[in-house]
Amino acid sequence: MRLLRRSGALVALIVACIVGVARYEAFLTIENLSNVLRQNSMLGFVALGMTFVILSGGIDLSVGALLAVAGVVAAMLASHGAVIAIVGGIGAATLLGVLNGLLITKARIQPFIVTLAMLVMWRDALRWTTEGAWVQGLPENFQWFGLGQSTGEILIFAISLVLFAVFAWSLRNLVIGRTIYAVGSDAEAARLAGITPVTDINSRVTGAETSCKYTAYGI
């Protein structure tokens, strides 16, 4: 029971893999595993940011919309160079994430309401801007780090593993990580214990999440 409480998600993943192996002959093929890793690496980066948000007691329903905004901005700026595209994407995600954070921590609006409104607003704004079409004509060096798809996929997976390890270590060993756990468990108790103001922690968490959103698109 203790294992299920502490590692329930890992146990569920193992069970899902066992069922997949038993049900589908192609489940363990190189092609299928490569496809799963490629399609889920981006979601893994988003999940890293969302982990911080959920642990701090918050929620973000706009994560997909803001990820799309960062991607479209970067793609539209790609013709001006990779550096400008990266800065533009990061800037867009950061500004919108900060707006979310300010509305939640300063205006005292519930995260569910703020992020749901942002989801609808930015999704429709993107649909109007792009007219529902893909942004095309991206430079070769903007895709897969300019290394080709096969090498790019391997590099993305390697970066994923490194970032997961860094984030896991940070949550367990750094002050900010333990503080996030404390605030998410009981914000009032954390405040009485002299921990950094909850609004400050939420702002930092929002910044970490927006960085993960753009990283997810960028790679």
For residue 172, with 0-12 CB atoms within 10 Å meaning exposed, 13-18 middle and 19 or more buried, which class applies?
exposed
Q: What is the pTM of this model?
A: 0.70
Task: Note whether 217 and 89 are within 8 A (CB).
Answer: yes
Three-state SS at 81: coil
> pLDDT tens digit string along 140-177?
666 666 566 677 777 777 888 888 888 888 888 887 77
pLDDT at 219: 45
User: Who wins on pLDDT, 142 or 110?
Assistant: 110
Burial 41-52 (b: 16+ CB within 10 A, else e): bbebbbbbbbbb
In tens, the pLDDT along 3-42 reads 566 677 778 888 888 998 888 888 888 888 878 877 777 7
Given a cut of 50, whether residue 127 has pLDDT beyond it is yes
Angstrom distances, CA of residue 216 to CA of 48, 72, 170, 172, 201: 10, 13, 19, 23, 23
Q: Confidence band (pLDDT; 50, 70, 90) for 101?
A: confident
Mind listing the pLDDT tens digit for each residue in 73-99? 888 888 887 788 878 888 888 888 888
Mark out the alpha helices in the chain (DSSP H runs).
2-23, 30-55, 63-77, 82-105, 111-130, 149-173, 175-185, 187-192, 198-218
Q: What tokens does 10 get?
A: 């890992």
